[in-house]
Amino acid sequence: MTKTLKIYENKLIFIEVEPSEIPWLKIFSKQDCKELTDCDTVTRQEIYRLLEFIETEMIAYFQPDKINIASFANYLPKVHWHVMARFKTDSYFPEPMWGKKQREAMLDYPPMESFITQLQAKLNG
């Protein structure tokens, strides 16, 4: 994946793929919320539901060493969450993906495109 790609949307949120060496999705609120507590309860529940769903699906499909979930929103002051499948052999592990590069990545995981197709089928099913 070399560009941001929207893979799912409903009335409350949308999900994008973050171009990266690792499997990385982002969940965005459609409400104009700077903080999670600014979102209405239904939107917050949908974000939590999808965080858990994506984490579960990433673990089953990619079998990563760790899942990272983050919400900083300093550069983009809009509620959004990052969900990343991390591997001991990715370029930054154990640092965050925004941290200092540790090595050249040596990754071998199933195709991201197949994961997205599988995820979309479950989300739309």
CA–CA gap between residue 5 and residue 23 (Å, rounded): 13
pLDDT, tens only, 26-83: 999 999 999 999 999 999 999 999 999 999 999 999 999 999 999 987 677 789 999 9
With a CB cutoff of 8 Å and minimum separation 6, the contacts of 84 are: 20, 22, 23, 24, 25, 67, 68, 69, 70, 97
pTM, two decimals, is 0.93
Which domains does the chain carry?
Answer: 5-115 (3.30.428.10)
CA–CA gap between residue 55 and residue 68 (Å, rounded): 9
pLDDT, tens only, 75-109: 777 899 999 999 999 999 999 999 999 999 999 99
